[in-house]
Amino acid sequence: MTERPEGAPAQPQPQDQPSASPSAPPPQTPTQAEIPAQPAQAQAPTQAAVPSAYPYPDPQSPAASPQPPAGYGPPVAPVAAQANPYGQPPGGYPPSGYPPGGYPPLGAPPATGAGGRAVLWALVGAAVASAAWAGGVFLLGKDETEADLRGYRAKSDICPSVDYSSFKNEYPEEDDAPVNNSLEHAALDQSYCSISLKESSTSTLSDAYFSVQIDLHKKTDPGPEFTAMWSEYDQRYEDYEVEKVDGFGDEAYVITEDTTSGDDTSGSRSATLAVRDGWMTYEMRWSAYGSSYDDVTMPDVDDVVDWLKNDTNATLGNLRGADGI
């Protein structure tokens, strides 16, 4: 170290400087526990609870979105929960399709827009159609078809009403004990007469058989079945022939059979006239049988058909408007 020469002035001393030792302790970073709680008005406002019909939390509500602790960063703005106008919890109903405790609440707001108008018009149309149907039933009554019997009446004793005068020349012997049968029912009235035809009083057995039957169908129309049965009668037996004839009710058929040949009268002959007039069906039948052991003559089938036509007109006239069973 170089010593200052004697007599040299001393070096000036620097001015007083603040002491390096501070008069107060340096500030310390406060801990989280020492930070005073912010006043209530400084905290983030919470959204008022949204009324809901069901106890399900809204995932968009503050309760479902946790906030950071107070004191760190700026307050977080609350997310406004969107109210459900129909009371349905966000996310849908439970798997059952209905909320706990019963069915969905009634009184949902009416639909609006194009879809809503379509639903409204559909409901209005259904109401109008129902009213029109009810009015039609009121005005017209029940939808039941009345039986079309054309004035015919079935009788418990029909034989006196049967006219078979065309057969009297061939079979002059009167039958003293004809057979009468009848049926009376809500769905069907039926009358049947069977007469034994004899050529003379010496005949011990019938030389021919004659019958009449009338059916009054009071619940169902017999038309389709009548046509099917009589127009195709020859499908069942190859010896029968079918002919449709006019002049009797709505439709009529003549069915004939002849198994005889030439002068040989052994075999059978028969003829039937079937008539449908509205819901009335009618049959007049004749049949005869011969053998080589019997001395019996049988009329021609064509002649019998003419007799059936004549006597059917007379008999149907007797049954129309007569007192019924």
pLDDT tens, position by position, for the chain (325 residues)? Answer: 445 555 555 554 544 444 444 444 555 555 444 445 554 444 444 444 444 444 445 545 444 445 555 555 555 555 555 555 455 555 555 555 555 555 544 445 555 555 555 555 566 566 655 555 555 544 444 446 789 999 999 999 999 999 999 999 999 999 989 999 999 999 999 999 999 999 888 877 889 999 999 999 999 999 999 999 999 999 988 889 999 999 999 999 999 999 988 776 788 999 999 999 999 999 999 999 988 677 678 899 999 999 999 999 999 999 987 677 6
Q: Do 155 and 161 contact (CB within 8 A), yes or no?
A: yes
Cβ atoms 278, 151 nearer than 8 A: no
| Element (DSSP H or E) covering residue 258 | strand 251-258
Q: What's the CA angle centered on 301, arms 197 and 244, to 5 degrees?
A: 115
Q: What is the pLDDT of residue 138?
A: 45
Spatial contact of 240 and 257, defined as CB atoms under 8 Å apart: yes
Residue 64 contacts residue 41 (beta carbons within 8 Å): no
∠ at Cα 273 (322, 176), nearest 5°?
60
| pLDDT of res. 134 | 52
